[in-house]
Amino acid sequence: MSLLGLMVAFLFALFVGVRICPTLFAVVVPPNPPLPTAGTMTVLLHEQKGTGLDEFLYGTDQKGCDIARFYENRLGECIYDPDSACQTARGTQPIQPGVGQLVAECTGTDSIGAYRLRWTVYISTGYAEGGQTHFRVTREVGN
């Protein structure tokens, strides 16, 4: 009888642990931003803006339209700047060297346990230093 009680207690602890561990893990070690696998990404800045709010700035030599398409596929929603020409058949935008031009703003959410991660990505191109394209990723952890 005591063996049956121990098995029930173990199964209950396992059930509770499986449900709580992802939530605790997300609070202690939130996931890094989703990044395109092609090309070289350089972390230009990482700031913790507050509890559950982080901001990352990356630089890459990839085209801004390619980065925007990655985030549109990954996050689901992007608003393109009409001047970027990313939604045309060619998908290339005119770039003035040294002047950052907005390409797109993308948003989406992920769930980890009881928490929701909201990602917001601002993509700009035309930079002379740190890669031609810079994108700022904001991660907000909430419930």
pLDDT at 7 > cutoff 90? no
- Quote the mean pLDDT of the chain: 82
CA 110, 39, 104 angle in degrees (round to 5)? Answer: 55
Spatial separation of the C-alpha atoms in residues 5 and 19, rounded to whole Å: 21
Number of domains forming the structure of the chain: 1
| Structural domain includes residue 10 | no
- pLDDT on residue 122: 94
Whether residue 114 lies inside any domain: the answer is yes
Domain that holds residue 75: 31-142
Per-residue pLDDT at 91 = 47
pLDDT of 55 higher than 90: yes
pTM: 0.76
Residue type (1 letter), 66 = D
Cα 95 to Cα 111: distance, rounded to the nearest angstrom: 37
Average pLDDT, integer, range 100-115: 84
Q: Are 137 and 120 in contact (CB under 8 A)?
A: yes
pLDDT at 99: 62
pLDDT-derived band at 95, boundaries 50, 70, 90:
low
Residue that wins the pLDDT comparison between 24 and 111: 111
